[in-house]
Chain A
Amino acid sequence: MKLDRRCFLALSIGGAAGTALTPLPWKLTDDLSIWSQNWPWTPVPDKGAITYTHSVCDLCPGGCGITVKKAGDRVIRVEGIEDYPVNQGGVCILGIAGPQLLYSPTRVQKPLKRIGNRGEGRWEPISWQDALAMVIDKLKTLRAADKSHSVAGVFGRDRGTVAQLFQRLLTVYGSPNFFSTPSYLDNYEMTLYLMHGMRASVGVDAKNADFILSFGSGMIQGWGSSVYMFKANSLLKSTGRVVQVEPRLSVSAAKADEWVAVKPGTEGALALGLAHVIINENLHNSDFVVNYSTGFETFKQLVLGKYAPETVAGITDVPAEKIVALARAFARARKPLAICGRGQGLTPGHLSDYIAVHALNALVGNINRQGGVIAIPEADDIDWPEATMDAIAVAGMQKGRIDGAGSSRYPHSRSLLNQLPEVLNTGKGDSIETLFVADVNPLYTMPDAEATRAALAQIPFIVSFASFMDETAQMADLILPNHMYLERLEDVPSPAAYPANIIGLSRPAIGPLFDTRHTGDVIIALAHALGGNIAAAFPWQDYPTCLRETLGDKWNELNRKGYWQGPEVAAPLGFGTFDTASSKFEFSNPDLNAALESQPALPQGDATTYPHLLLPYDTMRIASGPIGSPPFLVKSVDETVLQGNDVLVEVNPKTAAALQLADGKPAKLKTPKGEAKVRVHITEGVAPDVVALPRGLGHTAYDDFLAGKGVNYNALVGMTEDPVSGLDATWGIRAKLSKA
């Protein structure tokens, strides 16, 4: 038989007809639809038992109580605990994204030793034993050479057992050089020290206030304990009033009852202008002023003499009538509360601003009482016996701090990390031979990134406790990775600016995923290996024992409830809680007056070359601290802020017109410290000649969702010290925006 084309066609038609009589087409269609509805590469959570762990979020100083939900062995969700006093069921977007950080590809999974050049990213795994031996060897050598003070540690905070363990280790080893991350809280602490005469942290009872006057503080941008402040802000919507004083129309300003647009950097002057009106019109709380304060007359003379509304209007660009009206509204409120620290308070700012703002609270008598500002005395949670110091330790401690904190130059400061780059780069002080870093990413978060990089390059041995391969970890010589917060047991000290002393307990929701170790355990192990007095100062076999013993009778409550709350500070103490020489609140004393008179040279850069002003701003959707934003956050960022890899800077229509820049168009941003490519977003929310840039972008480390996106504000700005505190007073820098 000849098979011609007709036969072939018939065969095909027969085949098609036959196929239609088989299940094949229907089955294939069904399978393909199932396949395409359930892409096999889409991750699907485990189907295991659902379990919950109560813990405390440690991603920012917010200290929120969280429930970590697991399916089988997989963490799938983080929720707020309803009856946790701080956040009452809420969590912020970063807190929600915690599981992404846990499973992040940027986790450091085992101890690593650098083999390439710094920053090159070439590492060699090393056993914990060898890694610790390396550190111990280094520490022993330095100590034997009488260079104990050249060992330093930079930690995210100075409170809590882990930071305190490290500080204790440095002390008995013989180095005073323990640093914590500077912020607005340092300025508040110093303000309370100068005005209340005591070392205390600030508590802001925002929920019970009825008028909040915020000098640039981002109430809904992460200032204080973010979720607590969010809730307070919502509460005030119905029960009170929020006035936001800020040069830029931030979300906090937009949601406030009133936005007072002020000239950048003049918030302190405005506060003194308000004080002028309050005193001048006799609106102040005379009970407080007469019975609980001293120095009022001097302060009065200062503000009446120099800060009349018309004068202040000239400084701040806020009309005199507005100043008068605002002062009256503030003073007449039942619980008026003034706060400061710009944005999230990442840069401490000018000390005199804090003094001026706190003086306002004092004038209306809203101090140490419900709805006011509360000075929470330094907690005595950690009460370890005094360590015995040997001769080397005593000698090392006597050398004084390398940053000058506590010296005659900055007598009230305790840690000035911002001074470190200059000291190291100019070689004016001692050198640092070994640096430990934990929970910080100074190379990214400190101003003048270039200077910080140069300073780190001077340090021969850097040990990082990083859980993630961040910018600073990339510069380390040895990484001893800590468990990340969902994997570890640790006390979490009182949340930032929270109006009570509350210790939270972070509990492991899951066992360590990788070959990491608790930094607390590493510190204790190092101390034991160093022997002698050093080992004797650490009588605990491991960190959990140390934690339990340290917390003593608080432990049970902490373990049961997840937090321990100290006695109410505000109500019973009332006004009479000042530890000054006069036992009263001080409106003026020589240190205060010096601070109020001081003026840091700001902003940096000359106005001719740099006609514009670059200001940073904070948003909850971008993590701007040591932790880089996980993908969940980056994806939430608006397209008026980030488009692809380009960040948009806010520019006033007038400036844009003058520069012939259209919305969304690329531009060049240059400051005395660096330059960057940006795009412009035209908005009336900033004044002419102001350029606003979000913080938290421009990472070079972390994953593809974050690295290379936008520009790091810290790489464009310099550090300008406050003459009194020595902290970084910078709020912006001169810049030049031009067509790209």
Chain B
Amino acid sequence: MSTIDDQTTADVPQTPEDENGHPKHDPAPAADSNAPVMLSFIIGIVISLIIGWAVFPKLLYSQKTQPVNFNHAMHMDPEISAEGCASCHYFREDGSFSGIPKLASCAECHEDVLGESEEEARFVEEYVKTGKEVPWLVYARQPDCVFFSHIAHVKMGNMECKTCHGDIGVSTQTRVYEENRITGYSRDIWGKNIAGFKKNTWDRMKMDDCAECHKANNVNQGSVQTLRGGCFVCHK
């Protein structure tokens, strides 16, 4: 291989040409000079793979802890929460979903410290006594351009909470909340797996995951507005 630079140096012998006037390649020296290039190429690949698969996800998400370390498992005791998840995450009379309970719901039981846990004592002290709402970090919060109705899925579609949220009821403490530094939403939406692979229905909450289920069950595939391609079902 010759370069213009090579040709500018007078004492470098000219690359011999074949009978057609094309430069003639001498295989031996080429192998010598290609080795570092190949190596560089491979190093490039390796470094980028490391960055892409390991470093980037670390950089992309910041790690946050919930303001209160909440124990779902303990609260799921039927004596405490007779109606299971719905004891705290209930539907309001108008059908809208309450989501994460407001302080007032917590305070119905925790007006004073009930148990031995230090965390509970801190919660009562810092929040219940001062009336300050707990700034919970919501793992499942969707971007604001998404319209989602819980009642349509849970009551009309008879779906279980865990289909989307996983078996959160058995957790004894809150997970680290990984916040996407660009979008501000939780890592749970894209899924823990940076490549987007999932094993369980609750591993990801992207549009494709919604669509997958809608297609499989043939529900709301067309919106009233377009009659096909259900964009407006969720993007009002």
Interface residues of A, Cβ cutoff 8 Å to B: 1-4, 6-8, 10-19, 21-24, 26-28, 30-32, 34-35, 37-38, 40, 42, 44, 47-50
Contacts and interface: CB of A to CB of B under 8 A. Distances in A.
Given A13-B41, A15-B48, A18-B46, A34 B36 contact: no
B143 A11 contact: no
A14 B98 contact: no
Contact of A49 (B36, B42, B60, B92): B92
B96 interface: yes
A14 B45 contact: yes
Interface string B183-197: 111000010001110
B187 to A, nearest CB: 11
B48 A30 contact: no
Q: Across chains A and B, which 4 residue pairs bring their CB atoms closest together, nearest first?
A: A22-B52, A14-B44, A18-B48, A18-B45
Contacts of B51: 19, 22, 24
A512 to B, nearest CB: 16
Contacts of A3: 36, 40
A38 B143 contact: yes
Given A22-B56, A40-B184, A50 B44 contact: no
Contacts of B72: none
Contact of B44 (A2, A6, A12, A24): A12
Contacts of B184: 35, 40
B180 interface: yes
B4 interface: no
B145 A38 contact: yes
Contacts of A34: 143, 182-183, 185
B52 A50 contact: no
A46 to B, nearest CB: 11
Contacts of B194: 23, 27
B151 to A, nearest CB: 13
Name which of A13, A14, A42 has the most chain B CB atoms within 10 A of its CB: A14
Nearest to B46: A18
Contacts of A38: 143-145, 183
B37 interface: yes
Given A34-B143, A40-B184, A15 B196 contact: no
A1 B36 contact: yes
A42 B196 CA distance: 29
Given A11-B41, A14-B41, A23-B53, A37 B196 contact: no
A19 B39 contact: no
A19 B183 contact: no
Given A21-B49, A27-B60, A38-B145, A49 B44 contact: no
B40 A35 contact: no
A2 B39 CA distance: 12
Nearest to B5: A5
Name which of B45, B46, B98, B195 has the most chain A CB atoms within 10 A of its CB: B45
B190 A22 contact: no
Interface in B81-123: 92, 94, 96, 98-99, 102
B38 interface: yes
Given A14-B46, A17-B44, A27-B190, 11 more contacts: A7-B40, A13-B41, A13-B44, A15-B47, A16-B44, A18-B44, A18-B49, A19-B51, A23-B52, A40-B184, A49-B92
Q: Which DSSP category, helix, strand, loop or mixed, fits chain A's interface?
A: helix
Interface residues of B, number: 38
A32 B182 contact: yes
Contacts of B33: 6
Given A14-B44, A27-B190, A49-B92, A22 B53 contact: yes
Nearest to A26: B196
A512 B42 CA distance: 66
B159 interface: no
A44 B49 contact: no
10 contacts: A7-B36, A16-B48, A17-B44, A18-B52, A19-B48, A23-B52, A24-B56, A27-B60, A31-B180, A37-B143
Contact of A18 (B37, B47, B144, B196): B47
A49 B36 CA distance: 65
B39 A1 contact: yes
Q: Which DSSP category, helix, strand, loop or mixed, fits chain B's interface?
A: helix
Contacts of A14: 40-46, 48
Nearest to A42: B144
B52 A47 contact: no
Nearest to B43: A11
Name which of A15, A38, A49 has the most chain B CB atoms within 10 A of its CB: A15
A380 to B, nearest CB: 42
A11 B44 contact: yes
Contacts of B45: 14-15, 17-18, 21
Contacts of B185: 34
A47 B142 CA distance: 12
B215 to A, nearest CB: 20
B47 A31 contact: no
Contact of B40 (A8, A27, A32): A8
Contacts of A50: 92, 94, 96
Contacts of B99: 47
A420 to B, nearest CB: 47
A39 to B, nearest CB: 10
B40 A44 contact: no
A21 B52 contact: yes
Name which of A1, A12, A18, A44 has the most chain B CB atoms within 10 A of its CB: A18
A98 to B, nearest CB: 22
Contacts of A44: 144
A27 B182 CA distance: 11
A445 to B, nearest CB: 40
Nearest to B141: A47
B30 to A, nearest CB: 12
Contacts of A10: 37-38, 40-41, 44
Contacts of B195: 23
A656 to B, nearest CB: 47
B60 to A, nearest CB: 7
B93 to A, nearest CB: 9
B208 to A, nearest CB: 11
Contacts of B40: 3, 6-8, 10-11, 14
A18 B47 CA distance: 8
A63 B49 CA distance: 68
A49 B37 contact: no
Nearest to B183: A34
Contacts of B49: 18, 21-22
A24 B59 CA distance: 11
Contacts of B43: 11, 14
A15 B41 CA distance: 7
A32 to B, nearest CB: 7
A31 to B, nearest CB: 4
A681 B11 CA distance: 82
A6 B33 CA distance: 10
Contacts of A2: 36
B92 A35 contact: no
Contacts of B145: 37-38
B180 to A, nearest CB: 6
